[in-house]
């Protein structure tokens, strides 16, 4: 039986109910799914650019990104929904943004079992090496306001709670198992698994693969040359006002933290203390990932 996920305070029972009863209104809905800090915002940017391109091909009108959260709301954020009607609908700013690209985009850290139904839904499941996920999530939650689920303990305390599945969204291994079979393949045929390391190594190839999955089709070299510069870590850091989530409040600790950090691979292993590494590995004895994903440990 699937465990109940621990969630942030921004998710209420009515939020989960709204998700389960939601009926997409646009011809296409793309839901970017991941355990936190697995490349979610990066993929949000990819999907936005591809759907903006598809809209431009049809209308010859260019869409300007105001904020990624307008186009790709956090589906489990209660504020993303309007409860003035039955069933609940998305907030008006999201509906307006989606009408401009003729598609709906969400991002989520929930399990597959909680997702809305619909044949016109496409999923992208993002994955990243576990130590980097844990390390990045520590930086994220330690700069998030405590009332929104932010973390106030030490890194070592965080690693221990993360490894025990006590941090928001539960254990990394359980999350992967909710979306993937034991061999690492996707459980739902509407879902495409994308590895963070593949995007780091070959962003052009990754964009082309995602475009085919969501129905945008073949991307020309000229279109790719236009899109790719806006997908870099530098671009997102330089335009952080368009990418920092609005679903929670942030704490300025005066340490130069940015929601878009470095995007590196291997920092988790470099920054873990010896005891952190021991606790980290012990956690996977209790919450192992699918056998087909052990290369991400």
What is the per-residue DSSP string for 60-120? --PPP-S-HHHHS-BTT-GGGEE-SSSS-EE-HHHHHHHHHHTSEEEEE-S-GGGSPP-TT
What is the per-residue DSSP string for 3-26? PPPP--TT--HHHHHHHHH----S
The whole-number pLDDT of residue 264 equals 67
- Helix (H) or strand (E) holding 30, with range, is strand 29-34
Q: What angle do CA 264, 63, 245 make, to 5 degrees?
A: 40
Taking CA atoms, 139 is separated from 40, 129, 238, 277, 282, in Å, by 15, 16, 19, 17, 22
Taking CA atoms, 1 is separated from 22, 113, 139, 177, 283, in Å, by 24, 11, 32, 12, 20
Structure confidence by residue, pLDDT tens digits, 30-74: 999 999 999 999 999 999 999 999 999 999 998 989 999 999 999
Q: pLDDT above 90 covers what percent of the chain?
A: 82
The whole-number pLDDT of residue 245 equals 87
Taking CA atoms, 194 is separated from 34, 209, 213, 264, in Å, by 10, 9, 11, 17
pLDDT class of 267 with cuts at 50, 70, 90: confident
The answer to whether the peptide bond before residue 87 is cis (omega within 30 degrees of 0) is yes
pTM confidence score = 0.95
Look over the chain and give the mean of its residue pLDDT values, rounded to a whole number. Answer: 93
Nearest of 126, 136, 128 to residue 268 by alpha carbon: 136
The whole-number pLDDT of residue 149 equals 93
C-alpha dihedral, 51 to 206 to 42 to 235, nearest 10°:
-90
Distance CA 79, CA 62 (A): 28
Quickly tell me which residue has 């929670």 as its tokens.
Answer: 248
The first and second tokens of residue 280, run together, are: 């980290």
Structure confidence by residue, pLDDT tens digits, 159-203: 999 999 999 999 999 999 999 999 999 999 999 999 999 999 999
Domains of the chain (ranges, CATH numbers): 13-296 (3.40.50.300)
Distance CA 56, CA 160 (A): 48
Structure confidence by residue, pLDDT tens digits, 95-107: 999 999 999 999 9
Quick check: helix, strand or coil at residue 126? strand
Strands 89-90 and 81-82: antiparallel
pLDDT class of 260 with cuts at 50, 70, 90: confident
Those residues whose C-beta lies under 8 Å from the C-beta of residue 154, and which sit 6 or more positions away, are: none
Q: Are residues 267 and 202 in contact, defined by beta-carbon separation less than 8 angstroms?
A: no
């Amino acid at each position: 039986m699937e465990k109940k996920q621990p969630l942030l305070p921004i998710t209420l029972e009515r939020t989960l109910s709204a998700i389960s009863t939601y009926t997409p209104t646009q011809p296409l809905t793309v839901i970017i799914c991941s355990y936190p800090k697995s490349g979610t915002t990066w993929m949000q940017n990819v999907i936005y650019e591809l759907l903006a391109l598809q809209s431009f091909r049809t209308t010859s009108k260019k869409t300007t990104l105001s904020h990624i959260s307008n186009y790709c709301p956090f589906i489990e954020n209660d504020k993303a929904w309007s409860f003035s009607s039955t069933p609940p609908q998305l907030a008006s700013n999201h509906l307006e943004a989606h009408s401009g690209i003729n598609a709906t985009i969400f991002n989520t850290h929930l399990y597959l079992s909680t997702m809305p139904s619909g044949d016109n839904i496409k999923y992208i499941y993002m994955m990243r090496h576990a130590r980097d996920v844990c390390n990045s999530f520590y930086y994220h939650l330690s700069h998030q306001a405590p009332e929104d689920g932010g973390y106030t303990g030490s890194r070592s305390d965080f690693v221990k709670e993360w490894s025990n599945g006590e941090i928001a969204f539960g254990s990394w291994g359980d999350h992967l198992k909710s979306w993937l079979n034991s061999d690492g393949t996707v459980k739902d045929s509407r879902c495409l698994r994308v590895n963070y390391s593949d995007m780091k190594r070959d962003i052009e190839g990754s964009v082309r693969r995602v475009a085919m999955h969501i129905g945008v089709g073949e991307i020309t070299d000229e279109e790719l040359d236009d899109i790719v510069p806006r997908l870099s870590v530098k671009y997102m850091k330089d335009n952080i006002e368009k990418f920092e989530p609005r679903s929670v409040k942030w704490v300025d600790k005066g340490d130069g933290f940015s929601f878009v950090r470095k995007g590196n691979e291997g920092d988790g292993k470099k920054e873990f203390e010896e005891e952190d590494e021991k606790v980290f590995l012990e956690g996977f004895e209790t919450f192992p990932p699918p056998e087909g994903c052990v290369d991400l440990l």
